Structure 1
Amino acid sequence: MLEKIKETARYIQTKISVKPRVAIILGSGLGDLANDIEVSEKILYSDIPNFPVSTIKGHKGQLIFGKLSGVDVVAMQGRFHYYEGYTMAEVTFPVRVFKQLGIEYLFVSNASGGVNPDFEVGDIMFITDHINLLPNPLIGPNIDELGPRFVDMSEAYDKHLLSIATRVARQHGIHYKTGVYAGTPGPTYETPSEYYYIRTLGADAVGMSTVPEVIVARHMNMPVFAVSVISDLGVKGKIIQISHQEVLAAVEQVTPKLITIIKDVIKSL
């Protein structure tokens, strides 16, 4: 795998004119952040050696390079999921490549179901910790050049980046929540009993992504900031039928606020 990572990074380096410091993984419906990037290059996933291809509506499937808030960045407009049939190594492959490109910080966004009864649709939740209910992406032989065999996860989500985000949100008068994210395989939305189970475990929100990328980033000692948009509720008395289109619509309502937060946090770096 190490040679594939290096091969992919070498290819990308021949196509770009910037040296990105920050990588941003744009989740469902959050691709509009790309409109705020002063774009220097775009590369389709299908053109990149060894790269998977996103199959989900709302995920365009390209890397965007340029400046955001004056900082060189790369944005993934579309991510990969375990439920698409990819291995965990494939799901997290882009994060490995980002590290090889010299990325210093990883920003991750997603749409998730709120299981905290104090949450409402449209809430922004800064992720403070996670519960992994997916296969761990580090299972298998360890590549020492990438990171240690056993990875400390006591600070999976960087406290300094969290403090910047909370300050930025308050400065702009943006309402936010903090909480624990549970990562599940999907692709089904949870049953009422599963929502209850996930809440009992200690989670505030649940989704089908993010955790694998964060684990791999921490394996490589890359600081992470992650945020969820609460797109539906898994709370007793508030559970209704939900579709992917409704998830995208819920996220769209708060995307401008989320863009403001991410841009200002990056500016503070």
Structure 2
Amino acid sequence: MADSRQEALEYCLKRTPQRIAQVKAAVQLIQERTQRENHDVLVVLGSGLHDTVCNLGKNPVELPLKELLGAKIPSAQGHGTQIVSVQIETEAKTVNILVCTGRIHLYEGHTPADLCFVPQVAAMTGIQAAFLTNAGGCLQPWELGDVMAIRDHINFSGASPFTGPVFVDISQVWDSDLTAAIKKHASRSGVYAISRGPEYQTLAESIMMRNNGIDMVGMSTVLEAIALYQLGVRVCGVSVTSDLTFSSTPTTHSEVLHAVKSAIPCVQNCLYEVINTLY
């Protein structure tokens, strides 16, 4: 798998060979700092979900993103600026988890390639699967704090992780078996759409999205998922309902924070179920 993944990385970055060298250097730094040759699962935490990493596993090792040459630093509120390596014991093995405590976004002025750098680094550490999380606006009559298993996505960002003739079949990005595991705990499942942001969608756009089968909308996750899938990583994830688009009263900031915080135990259970499915 290592050889095929390396070939896939070289294929998607063939126009930016310097990026390949940066990925390799970042992988080496993670291995040296954590003293873990490989990692098994990547977890990316969305807005307000930083506390998910608390008590997630044992033997945590933190590494500031600023030490990874090529990595950009999140500036959005509610996003951490480090990666954390932790270990979780299963009956089969000790599972090494690489946790990104925050992420960057297109609306911060970053390129699609920037967004996908850390996920690509994680892929080259040997991960089998990625568990992606976000907080999004809900287009359905659900409740704040509901957790939705992402079964598919629609890309309204106008962006791709790739530059040039990098042709990838993305009809099945979201792993059905891992999504089924998440659905044992998540109260909802559905389709997530990404917009570039930073502005939110208009009422007409929201109605159009809902009428076309979209359940949640946000400004992240999709490009990461595509980049990881291209490298042979099994992708799954959840979206936490942090805003009700069609509510008669606007959602306050305190309600958003409370909704995301209330969802953390469910998000953790979804992750544990994914790990138990893998190992």
> 1:116 and 2:140 equivalent?
yes
Distance 1:239 1:53 in 2: 36
Aligned match of 1:254: 263
TM superposition shift of 1:245 = 5.1
Structure 2 vs 1, CA of residues 185 and 242 (structure 1 numbering), >3 Å: closer, same or farther?
farther
TM value normalised by structure 1? 0.88
> Tell me, which stretches of 5 or more residues in structure 1 are unaligned?
143-148, 170-174
Aligned match of 1:50: 70
Aligned match of 1:89: 113
Aligned match of 1:146: none
CA contact (8 A) 1:28 1:248 kept: no
> 1:78 and 2:126 equivalent?
no
- Specify the code of the residue in structure 2 equivalent to 1:249: H
Q: Match for 1:10 among 11, 15, 28? A: 28
* CA RMSD, Structure 1 to Structure 2 (Å): 1.7
Structure 2 vs 1, CA of residues 104 and 251 (structure 1 numbering), >3 Å: closer, same or farther?
same
- Specify the code of the residue in structure 2 equivalent to 1:8: A
Question: What SS is found at the alignment partner of 2:59?
Answer: strand
TM superposition shift of 1:239 = 4.8
- Specify the code of the residue in structure 1 equivalent to 2:256: V
CA contact (8 A) 2:133 2:237 kept: yes
Moved more, 9-18 or 43-52: 9-18
Distance 1:244 1:46 in 2: 29
Aligned match of 1:40: 60
TM superposition shift of 1:221 = 1.9
TM superposition shift of 1:244 = 5.2
CA contact (8 A) 1:51 1:94 kept: yes
Question: 1:119-134 residue pairs with structure 2 within 5 A?
Answer: 119-134=142-157
TM value normalised by structure 2? 0.85
TM superposition shift of 1:71 = 1.4
TM superposition shift of 1:27 = 0.5
> 1:30 and 2:37 equivalent?
no
Distance 2:201 2:272 in 1: 32
TM superposition shift of 1:11 = 2.0
The alignment covers a number of residue pairs equal to: 254
Moved more, 59-68 or 5-14: 5-14
Aligned match of 2:4: none
CA contact (8 A) 2:113 2:162 kept: no
Distance 2:115 2:274 in 1: 26
Aligned match of 1:145: none
